[in-house]
Amino acid sequence: MTGCTGREGGEAREGHGGWSVRRKDALLTAAVVAIGVADTWVKPSNGLLTGLPTPLVAVVSGLVGCLLWWRRRNPCAVALAVMAGYVVAFTPVSLAVAMYTVGETYRRIRTLVLLGAAGCAAGAMVLWAGPPDWDLRDAGFTFAFILGPLVVGYVVAIRRDLALEARATVEALEREQHLLVERAQVVERARIARELHDVVAHRVGNIVLTAGALNAGHPALDPAVARAAELIRGEGHRALEELREVLGVLTPAAGAGPRRPDPRRRTSPSCRPSSITQAGWDAARHCASTGTPRPCRTRSSARSTASSRRASPTPPNTRRGRRSVFSCNAGSTGWRCG
């Protein structure tokens, strides 16, 4: 029969409360066998075995009930075998359990209709082989006991499938919500990190610039002041770098070269100013070349600098004649002046 070659759903699962499916099947099979044997002395008809010794009919009813042990392994074959036993010995309880298993296992309407029609045919044969005084009530009871478990099993299976789908949908929505929350947290942390970096970097940058000015100005004649200013400047640069690394916001990409000079790199002794007298506009250059020297600025940059000087008059508090030492390094990567 089409649709009876394999299971379409309803694999054996572990039961609740510590009861396994096999243990439940064993108890159900034992109960059906007991009911079938006891019903042999109660039911008015024993199918095709009507008129034979009751113990023989009881044994056949018990064997038909034992077939239910394999109802989960191959529900279609077990249902057909139970239908045959139903016609022979009239075992309504065994057939009801087999039809419920079929409805719970299969989802194809065609398979269910074919098995239901086969069960109704078995019921009609039992009515034909039984006592001739049956009526419509007996026929309705017989067919209801066959088709009712089939429909109930199908409804239970559909309800279970819908519950599983709803649970899977809820779990997927929860995972999506969790991902959205994590993404929002990452975005918010990045925003806070950028704001924190901007504020702290601005303040620490001011400290570094102040220390650099203190080191290059008139108070730098005192060696203690110069060392303290250099220490503050170095610590400020290290604080900025550690801040970038910890926050992970403005860290340069891997493989990219530095876009500004390393503040921890010390100037070579040949380029360090020998003395700083006063701050002013004139500068003397002491250069040590490690490669082919190049001009520090182009003609256009010099022209723009000259025009800016003509546009901006010299501040009145700037005294001419003061000199400051201006050092440069000419290397393969270009000029570095300070």
pTM: 0.52
Kindly report which listed range (15-24, 52-61, 216-225, 302-311) carries the lowest average pLDDT score. Answer: 302-311
Query: Percent of the chain at pLDDT above 90?
Result: 16
Total Cβ atoms within 10 A of residue 99: 29
Distance, in Å, from the CA atom of 54 to the CA atom of 62, rounded to the nearest integer, reads 12
- Residue 258's φ and ψ, nearest 5 degrees, are -65, 135
Instruction: Tell me the backbone φ, ψ of residue 103, rounded to 5 degrees.
Output: -65, -30
Tell me, what amino acid is at 50? Answer: T
Choose the most confident range, by mean pLDDT, from 13-17, 68-72, 280-284. Answer: 68-72
CA atoms of 231 and 225, how far apart (whole Å): 10
- The pLDDT score that the predictor gives to residue 325 is 42
CA dist., res. 62 & res. 51, Å (int): 18
Of residues 254 and 147, more confidently modeled:
147
> What would the mean pLDDT of 252-267 be, rounded to a whole number?
47
Pairing of strands 323-331, 282-289: parallel
pLDDT of residue 215: 65
